[in-house]
Amino acid sequence: MSSQFFSEVPGRISIAGPGSSDPLSFKVYDPDRIVLGKRMEDHLRIAVAYWHSFASSGSDMFGSGTWDRPWIDAPGDEMDGARAKMAAAFEFFAKLGTPFYCFHDRDVAPDGASFVEFRRNLDALADDALGYQERTGVSLLWGTANLFSHPRYAAGAATNPDPAVFAYAAAQVKNMLEVTKRLGGSNYVLWGGREGYDTLLNTDLRREGAQLARFLHLVAEHKHRIGFEGMLLIEPKPMEPTKHQYDSDAAVVHGFLVRNGLEGEYKLNLEANHATLAGHSFHHEVAYAAANNMLGSVDANRGDPQNGWDTDQFPNSVEDLVMPMYEILRAGGLGTGGFNFDAKLRRQSIDRTDLFHAHIGGIDTLATALLAAADLVGRARLAAMVEERYAGWSGPLGESILAGKLPLADLSARVESGEIDPHPVSGRQELYENVVNQHIWTARVGDGSEG
Ligand code: XUL
Ligand code: CO
pLDDT tens readout for residues 8-23: 999 999 999 999 999 9
Closest ligand (CA of 104): 1
Residue 47 inside a domain? The answer is yes
Peptide bond into 236 cis (omega under 30): no
pLDDT category at 449 given cuts 50, 70, 90 is very low
Kindly tell me if the per-residue pLDDT of 450 is higher than 50. Answer: no
Share of the chain above pLDDT 90, in %: 95
- CB 273 near ligand 1, within 6 Å: no
Q: What is the per-residue pLDDT for 174?
A: 98
Beta bridge partners of 231: 187
Closest ligand (CA of 271): 2
Are 180 and 141 in contact by the 8 Å Cβ rule? The answer is no
Residue 312 inside a domain? The answer is yes
Residue 14 inside a domain? The answer is no
**Averaged over 345-357, what is the pLDDT?**
98
pLDDT category at 298 given cuts 50, 70, 90 is very high
Q: Residue 237 — φ and ψ, nearest 5°?
A: -165, 135
Q: What is the per-residue pLDDT for 447?
A: 52
- CB 191 near ligand 1, within 6 Å: yes
Question: Ligand 1 centre and the CA of 360: distance in Å?
Answer: 21
CA-based nearest residue to 189, from 119, 255, 107, 103: 103
* Ligand 1 atom index nearest CA of 193: 1
- List helix spans (H) across 149-247: 163-182, 205-226
Number of structural domains the chain divides into: 1
Residue 225 inside a domain? The answer is yes
Supply the CATH number for residue 304's domain.
3.20.20.150
Residue 408 inside a domain? The answer is no
- CB 107 near ligand 1, within 6 Å: no
Residue 329 inside a domain? The answer is yes
pLDDT category at 73 given cuts 50, 70, 90 is confident
Residue 179 inside a domain? The answer is yes
27-33 long-range contacts (CB < 8 A, ≥24 apart) are: 27/364, 28/364, 28/367, 28/368, 28/371, 29/360, 29/363, 29/364, 29/366, 29/367, 30/367, 31/97
Kindly tell me if the per-residue pLDDT of 451 is higher than 80. Answer: no
Distance of CA 56 to the CA centre of its chain: 19
Residue 139, domain extent: 34-379
pLDDT tens readout for residues 165-213: 999 999 999 999 999 999 999 999 999 999 999 999 999 999 999 999 9
| Average confidence score pLDDT of the chain | 96
Kindly tell me if the per-residue pLDDT of 448 is higher than 70. Answer: no
